Structure 1
Amino acid sequence: MSRVLVTGGCGFIGSHLCLALRSAGHAVRVLDDLSSGSEENLAPGAELILGDVADPATASLVMEGVDLCFHLAAIASVERGALDWLGTHRANLTGAITVMDAARARRIPVIYASSAAIYGDAATLPITEDTPPRPLSAYGADKLGCELHARAAGVVHGIPTLGLRFFNVFGPRQDPRSPYSGVISIFCDRLSRGEAVTIHGDGSQTRDFVPVAQVVAALLAAPRAASVMAPVVNVCTGQATSVRMLAEMLEQACGARGAIRHGPPRSGEIRHSIGSPARAGELLGLGAPPDLRDGLGEVLAWLKAGRPGLSPRPVLTPATG
């Protein structure tokens, strides 16, 4: 059994990962400031330390006795990055450097979340790991910065890392009321309540929607591929789904009729973002992703059940020292 640190472990992806780690028998410590995560999402038996991931003393404290770190804490909002550029930079890039710096004393491997946002509006599809990065947002720029600092962590300090470039992740516990939520959680919530949804533009823009179960599988497989060479892999399906197709699938699943509206296109929106999962298959041994319809059904079932979390009574430990 290992002791594993998960930053952002009360968030959407982090909570699913922690549950999988606990189910595998690992001791789990979570660092979260609960700015977007919820105490109810804490996996049963996990320890929660409330604190700031960008604070060096806190990062050093939570790294004590740890064998492996999954760094998922971030402000995953392009809009928030535009409104609070400096604040999101501190959480997203300073936070990542702080975690890596705390890991270097014992050379603890760090598996960290990157993002397809580093690619921006890619000129060719599918997007591979060799596609030139050209981020169009502060969030994407910070995630690219995380990758560059991970390489420095390996070259200078000998810290093994691996970065996972998440595409459009969806699944249960992605709060549709949150400004960080994706289109699937928002569409599922509104259509399940009989409300209309608005598509910006004609709906032909496409995305690579990744079930959270596939993301967790990638995270669990990542430690064996971590190295001081700082590899990065796409976490995607390679399957293109238009926003219009998505809305129609959910409209049918919810028994809605005439619930799709169209609004003006969003300025600067990326038209197509489809990744290649080939390298993830080679390095992580990932198989075919679950069917999109099955994943949508899980989200709708979670909403119908009242959006349950995982544990109503987390173990709370304040960050001190």
Structure 2
Amino acid sequence: MDIQLSGKKILVTGGAGFIGSNLCEILLKKENEVVCLDNFATGKKENIAHLLEHTNFTLVEGDIRSLADCKKAVEGANYVLHQAALGSVPRSIKDPVTSNDVNVGGFLNMLVASRDEGVKRFIYAASSSTYGDSESLPKVEDKIGKPLSPYAITKYVNELYADVFSKTYGLETIGLRYFNVFGRKQDPNGAYAAVIPKFVGQFMKGDSPVINGDGEYSRDFTYIDNVIQANLLSIVAEGEEAVNTVYNVAYGERNTLNDLVGYLKEFLSEFDANIKNVEVLHGPNRLGDIPHSLASVDKAKELLNYNPEYSLQKGLKEAVKWYWENL
């Protein structure tokens, strides 16, 4: 999808992270001025190293928990793509205070800085974790349950704050509820690595991945290019209906963890036939996990013209190739 967007100044918070660095790249390709704010707590300098010499790219090394850093980074920006956060349900369960400080306090700082600078639109990474204990499938934006983790609470509070800033201060906001995003530059290492890069890394080493539970939990796995499309469309969206709301960002199809492992084995074995024989292990279910997740993307299709082009299988083929060449 060719989205016309150039000549804007756009701040990407968490711009050295997985999603943020991909956004910085595409925005620069489209000839925009890009500012990246990151403290490198989870972002990586290597993700943006090739951008540092670009004349339209500025790195602000700072922390969203500092209002001064937020104000410095947002200066002159037309749009903010707020990706900075401490992800991971288990991390938030282990350390709820830091997750809250970053995800709620930092979010509020960015809203205040954006309001004060007169930013046109504030687009932020929301989360499918907001659906909590709601058992209805597919997930529709206006039907949520109670959060199941501190992380989920922080992401729901973000939506509440954004709504208040829209109504009280006239700051246009759009929340994008990401569903299990994966793809190039997603870190396979660390205690809180996402399941797809973690499993890819283990298979490539010949190690047995461990599935939490029996593998029948299901997810709407969403390739990075679908997420990029949703962010760009959110910048150019027009009309009152399209703004000051939240959207599901997903493919609109669910696969079990057992399905996922089967696809990974199949695609990775094209590079190393031995991977087909790696045993998969099972452990206990993980605290705070939602059993099943499937998004309705009808609202985003209708109001943003969102058209996700990458299914799980199509995205995995791209991701596996990238990991094979880069790990």
Length-normalised TM-score, structure 2? 0.90
- Distance in 2 separating the partners of 1:80 and 1:17: 25
> 1:169-208 residue pairs with structure 2 within 5 A?
169-208=181-220
1:246-283 deviation line (CA, Å, top 9, x unaligned) = 11111222232142122233345321011111111112
Match of 2:163 in 1: 151
Rounded to whole Å, the distance in 2 between the matches of 1:168 and 1:56 is: 30
Paired residues of 1:165 and 1:234 also in contact (CA < 8 A): yes
Q: 2:222 aligns to what?
A: 210
1:127·1:275 contact (CA, 8 Å) conserved in 2? yes
Supply the RMSD in Å over aligned alpha carbons.
1.6
Aligned to 1:62: 73
Asked if 1:86 is matched to 2:97, the reply is: yes
Amino acid across the alignment from 2:296: S
Aligned with residue 13 of structure 1, among 5, 19, 44:
19
Q: Among the aligned pairs, what percent are the same residue?
A: 35
Q: What is the letter of the counterpart of residue 140 of structure 1?
A: A
**Is contact 2:220-2:254 (8 Å) kept?**
yes
| One-letter amino acid matched to 1:76 | G
Please give the per-residue CA displacement for 1:100-156, whole angstroms capped at 9, x wherever unaligned: 101112431110110001111322100010112421111111111111111111111
Matched ranges for 1:114-263 at <5 A: 114-225=126-237, 230-255=244-269, 256-263=276-283
For normalisation by structure 1, the TM-score amounts to 0.91
What letter corresponds to residue 209 of structure 2 in structure 1? V
Shift of 1:95: 0.8
Query: Which digits, 9 at most, give the CA deviation of each residue in 1:14-64, with x for residues without a partner?
Result: 011110000000010010000011111116222111101121111111111
- Secondary structure (helix, strand or coil) at the match of 2:210 reads strand
Greater helix content? 2
Q: Which one of the candidate residues 60, 66, 76 is aligned to 2:87? A: 76
Query: Given the superposition, is the C-alpha separation of residues 136 and 268 from structure 1 closer, same or farther in structure 2, using an over 3 Å criterion?
Result: closer
Helix, strand or coil at the partner of 2:103: helix
Instruction: Show the 5 A alignment for 1:265-280.
Output: 265-280=285-300
SS in 1 for 2:326: coil
Measured after TM superposition, the shift of residue 292 of structure 1 is 1.9
Aligned residues: 307
Q: Which moved more, 1:81-90 or 1:7-16?
A: 81-90
**Structure 1 residues 31 and 284, CA gap change in structure 2 (3 angstroms):** same
SS in 1 for 2:148: coil
The answer to whether the 8 A contact 1:70-1:112 is kept is yes
Change beyond 3 A, Cα 1:113–1:267:
closer
Distance 1:284 1:178, change over 3 A: farther
